[in-house]
Every structure is written in C-alpha cells, then in structure tokens.
Amino acid sequence: MSAAEVIRTVDVAVVGAGSMGSMALWHLARSTGMSVLGVEQYGPAHGHAAFAGESRLFRAANKEGALYTAAALEARALWTELERETGRQLLLKTGVLAIAPEGHPFLESTQRSIVEGDLPHRFLDAAELRREYPQFTVEDGDIGIMDLLGGGLRSELAVATAQRAAIRRGAEILYNTPVLGIDEHESGVVISTSEGIVHAQKVIVTTGAWTTRIVPEVRDLVSAIAIPLTWFMPEDISQFTPDRFPCWMRDLDGDHAFGVPALDGYSVKIAPTTRIDTIEDPDTDPRELSREQLRRCTAIATRMFPGILPEVVRSSIHPESATADHVPILDVSESGRTIIGAGFSGNGFKFSPAYGRVLAQLAESGSSALQHPLFTLGHHRRRAQARADDLVLADDYPVLQGH
C-alpha cells in the first residue's frame, strides 16, 4: 500500500490509543453516532507508554486540591461503568492511605479536598497506624488519612479493556501504524500514517510524550518527562496483598513514595518519586535506572518498610507529557478541527475515563461541562507568557505533584 493512498475516511480520528485515546474512543463509540477510528503506533496495550507498569493510584481526595474532585468522582463512576460493561475488574477498592508527619502540606491539602468535597475518609493516629498497618515504619507524630473512595487501577488492562469496548461498539483501531503528520484543511483533516492517508472531519491527538512531534504548536506548553517505577520483595508477601494492604502515599524524612499492593504474587510496588525532567526522545531515553538510582530507591523503600528485602526486583521507566504547572490541556484548536489532550504530568490515569469523555464531547460539540477553564490552551499560553515575562498571576493555584 502506498503511504499516499487514502485508507480510511471517518468523522473522528483519535491519534494515540493510550490512556486518554482509548477512553475517548470508548465514549465516541458509545455516545455518538459518528464513525470513529483510532490510530496507534504500537499494539493494543504495550510497554512503551505512560500507562505501562501494572497499576496506577486512584485518589478521590486529591492533595492537589478540590479543582480535581469533580473529575475524580466522574471518573470513578465511569470506571464502574466500564467494569460493568466489560465484566473486567479494573479498580481495586483498597482505599488510598496517605501517611506523613502531622501538618505536612500534602496531608493538609488532602484534608481540604475531603472537607470541600465531603468525601468519605478516616483519620488514623500513629498508634492506630502501627496497629492496623504494621507494614509501614510509623514515627511518633505521623498521621494517616484514608481516602475511602481511592484505590488502584490495573492500567494496561484498563487501556486494553476500553479499546475492546470501543471496538465492540463499532470503532476501528489501526495498530502498529505511526502517524507521521496532521494537516488541517477547510474541509477536514488529513492524517498521514505509515500505511496511508486518513481523512477525518476532526482529530483528537492523545499522543502523550510524543505530542510535540505531532502538534509542534504546543512545543512551548508541553514537554516529555520520564517517571521510574520500582518493586521490592517482602519477606512475607501475605502482608502486602490487596485484602490487607491498601494503595498508599508516604512522606518520611523529606522523601515521598507511593505504591500499590502485591498483584503478581511475589513483589510489591514501592516507588520513590524520582521524576526525570525533560527527555529528548520518548522512544529511547531513558529506559533503565542506574545502579546509584536503584540504591537510592532501596534506601528510601527499606526506611519506609521494615519487612522488605533490600534490593529492587523489578523496575521500569515510562515516558509522560507534562506542563509547567502540571495542569493538563484539554482543548480545541482555533480551527475547531484538532482536539488536544496532553500534559497529564504524572497524574492523569485516574481521570482518564472523565478526560476521555471531555475529549469526545469537544470533538462532538466543541464544548464540555467538565472542561475547566484552567485546561484551555488560552490559559496555558497566558501562563507561558507570564513565565517568560517573570510575572506572578493573580489566579495562582497549587502545582500538581503526580500520581
């Protein structure tokens, strides 16, 4: 087949069937009468994207503030709908336990989100933490907040499941088909792929860390970063299974880590956040943690958990797209034909069914009630200009910290 041949003509094409793209495909296929095509450079659920690495945290009580509560609650309802539609268990309802010294800013902002959103929760003092969760090192003065609507998501399974659900409802996905470029015309969008041309009325671009390659206009707003994950072997795995051990975030001695219970029968995810800022090429760099980085992760993990073996048994690094203030972009280009979902900044997976719906609604009607004004290109351009001019804007808000 010649790369210049028209291979499909559709109403909406979704470029990048990862976390957000798969969910946008599901919503488009289930709630609109439009013809829908996904175009993905790899296979259905692969190891190269931001969703890879077994699991992600779902928090309803976001330490980044109540700005995200509506999206989190909408997403939780949609996770349940996707589970019901497909018969797959995607959300592990373990709760998310945040432990930190009393007064820690993350605990305070989590508590504010809980109060403002009236979210179900539990506070635990140091004695209760030691009694109920002996897996953690607990210092005098530590307190815990259990986000009872929180839990863990099986991320590769979720992406593959959303794709299957979309396909069952009539969407088509072209796998192993890199998109090489997108050109907007008056009558539509011309998408050049390795296999030929796709004509669409609208295109949703959800290409994660690869976004600036496909939409160079957002180069000033979005960058590619990488986030590592690590797993450790507990001495007693039965202490770390989802029936006894929740998803968690821990701040101790100035270090932050997060994790998910043991899902593979031998190891538990304990990931000290050592985000790698700005990577050049999401296809190649970086793919492995250095010996020094592994040693540092081990030191943090063994300090937080007395009952684990002092060595990383599994690790991986995943590319992600980020904005300067970690607020995502979910918006339509000036022409109205290109819809962009990018810059989820280590924090987007939990919201993906809600953000996928926003993207689908933007493609269908040009607006979405869940599109917060901070998520617009206009907002991000104003912030970029203010940064360039060294100005502090009046509408300042907390920076997202990830997961």
We find the least distance from the C-beta atom of residue 248 to ligand FAD, in angstroms, to be 11
53 binds ligand FAD (CB under 6 A): yes
In the complex, minimum distance from the CB of residue 365 to ligand FAD, in angstroms, rounded to a whole number: 22
Beta bridge pairs of residue 305: none
| Closest approach of ligand FAD to the CB of residue 66, in Å | 17
- Antiparallel, parallel or unpaired: β 268-272 and 255-260: antiparallel
Does position 229 interact with ligand FAD (CB under 6 A)? The reply is: yes
Comparing CA positions, the residue from 273, 268, 313, 312 lying closest to residue 136 is: 268
Site for ligand FAD in 176-195 (CB under 6 A): 178-179
Judged by CB under 6 A, which stretch of 134-142, 237-245, 248-256, 347-355 contacts ligand FAD?
Answer: 347-355
Nearer to ligand FAD, 44 or 307 (CB): 44
Residue with the two structure tokens 């051990």: 245
Question: Of how many residues is the chain composed?
Answer: 403
Question: Amino acid identity of 226?
Answer: A
Minimum CB separation of residue 392 from ligand FAD in Å reads: 27
The least distance separating ligand FAD from the CB of residue 131, rounded to whole angstroms, comes to 27
Closer residue to ligand FAD (CB): 234 or 282: 282
Asked if 206 interacts with ligand FAD (CB under 6 A), we say yes
Which amino acid, 6?
Answer: V
Element (H, E) at 257: strand 255-260
Whose Cβ is closer to ligand FAD: residue 19's or residue 94's? 19
In one-letter notation, the amino acid at residue 177 is T
Stretch that binds ligand FAD, among 79-87, 105-113, 316-324, 380-388 (CB under 6 A): 316-324
Q: Which residues contact 110 (CB under 8 A, 6 or more apart)?
A: 61, 62, 63, 98, 145, 147
* Residue 51 identity: F
Contact flag: residue 348 with ligand FAD (CB under 6 A): yes
**CB 23, min distance to ligand FAD, A:** 8
- What is the rounded CA–CA span in Å between residue 27 and residue 358? 9
- DSSP sequence for 340-397: EEE--TT--GGGHHHHHHHHHHHHHHS--TT--GGGSHHHHHHHHHHHHTT---SS--
Binds ligand FAD (CB under 6 A): choice among 110, 223, 321, 338: 321
Burial class of residue 166 in the structure, from the number of CB atoms within 10 Å of its CB (0-12 exposed, 13-18 middle, 19+ buried): buried
- Binding of residue 221 to ligand FAD (CB under 6 A): no
Q: How are the residues of the chain apportioned to helix, strand and coil, as percentages rounded to the nearest 5? A: 30, 30, 40
Return the residues of window 350-379 that contact ligand FAD according to CB under 6 A. Answer: 350
d(CA 329, CA 376): 6
10 binds ligand FAD (CB under 6 A): no
Residue 26, H or E segment: helix 19-31
Give the one residue of 7, 8, 21, 86 binding ligand FAD; rule: CB under 6 A. 21
Residue with tokens 């795995």: 237
User: Per CB under 6 A, does 56 bind ligand FAD?
Assistant: yes
Smallest gap from residue 46 Cβ to ligand FAD (A): 7
Residue among 47 and 134 whose Cβ is closer to ligand FAD: 47
Smallest distance from ligand FAD to CB 155, Å:
7
Is 269 among the residues that bind ligand FAD (CB under 6 A)? no
**142: CB partners within 8 A, 6+ apart:** 99, 100, 101, 102, 126, 129
Is the Cβ of residue 77 or residue 393 nearer to ligand FAD in the bound state? 77
Instruction: Give me the least distance between CB of 207 and ligand FAD, in Å please.
Output: 4
Tell me the closest approach of the beta carbon of residue 390 to ligand FAD, in angstroms: 29
In the complex with ligand FAD, the residue whose CB is nearer, 134 or 260, is 260
Task: Give residues in contact with ligand FAD (CB under 6 A).
Answer: 15-21, 39-42, 48-51, 53, 56-57, 178-179, 206-208, 210, 214, 227, 229, 318, 320-321, 344, 346-350, 403
